Amino acid sequence: MSDQSVPDPYDALLLLSFGGPEGPDDVVPFLENVTRGRGIPRERLEEVGQHYFLFGGVSPINDQNRELLAALRKDFAEHGLDLPVYWGNRNWAPYLTDTLREMATAGHRRVLTLATSAYASYSGCRQYRENLAASLAALEAEGLPLPRVDKLRHYFNHPGFVEPVAEAALTALAGLPEEVREGAHLAFTTHSIPTASADTSGPPEGHGDGGAYVAQHLDVARLIAEAVRGSDGVERPWRLVYQSRSGAPHVPWLEPDICDHLEELHGAGAPAVVMVPIGFVSDHMEVIYDLDTEAMAKATALDLPVARAGTVGADARFVAGIRELVLERAAAERGEEVRRCALGDLGPSHDVCPVGCCPGRTPKPAAAGADDPYAGAAR
């Protein structure tokens, strides 16, 4: 990591997230945005929307992004990093195109993007890059000057991400009844995706059998399991499991599902389980519904003691890690030698996604990669 404290050549940071409804009337329109082009009937969207209606039609993700946005701005100011931070979403206000329009109008020409997804996959990286390209195309059609947009590298194995999650796992363990704590298993959870998508995640040379998506999650799970063992000296069984599956039942997705895993552990006599959602940056809907509601209901039915670890959210270590990644990338763009922080066996991820990285079913232009059609911006 460079010891420079200037962000040149970047003149703005964009926090890019998924978005979520902020009231009951937003739920179905939000889901229509998420599923546009898939031909999903409104009745099905209303059925899925019941998850949101359980929480007043409000997803927590927007408030969590507001908290992260405020924390980044505060941290940057305290460390003398003169870099304005903006926020845009893929599927709800503030919409990405509107935010990029605001940035372009304000004169920003080199934008660095922080996506609220730490791992390589189509939905966690390439799709965000496609959305960036589509927004730049919209600005181009309006005759606006286009900023050049880059994206921070995957941060799944950065200490600022791993260390708060490891601490959260220990906190969750401490919350279990003492008589079952030592024998508790660790279930590391992430979003299930189609196996075909997992197999083609990351650069082409790593495609096959889960690709980068599974490899990266396994590396983080090992790191956290080792940190837990280092703290209490107990060797705990652990497994990477999945949640939040959607899509057609006949299409293979990554397994096992967390609820199936809890049932299996109960049948094998496990005394307790700690669920550690390593695949998520904040406690948004897929955490508070799929884990805190559905998985906890399954555990209660099994009479299996279960605790859930928190996510990084706006933890000061995560925020500091983002600042370090910004300065690292800025120094690399200036041609300086940088030390790249990364834990585990995989090493730091690439700065620029190569051609063929995390392809979608239908080829679309994607910004912030080796195949970026707007790489010549700003202009």
pLDDT one-digit tens code per residue, 78-96:
999 999 999 999 999 999 9
Candidate from 247-251, 253-257, 306-310, 351-355 with smallest mean pLDDT: 247-251
Q: Residue 354's pLDDT is what?
A: 97
- pLDDT grade, residue 4 (50/70/90)? low
The arithmetic mean of pLDDT across residues 22-40, rounded, is: 91
Give the Cα separation of 175 and 272 in Å (integer): 11
Say how many Å lie between the first and final Cα of the chain, rounded. 30
pLDDT at residue 149 is higher than 50: yes
pLDDT at residue 2 is higher than 90: no
Q: Residue 376's pLDDT is what?
A: 77
pLDDT at residue 281 is higher than 80: yes
Q: Residue 378's pLDDT is what?
A: 58
Q: Residue 90's pLDDT is what?
A: 97
Q: Residue 140's pLDDT is what?
A: 97
Q: Is the pTM of this model over 0.85?
A: yes
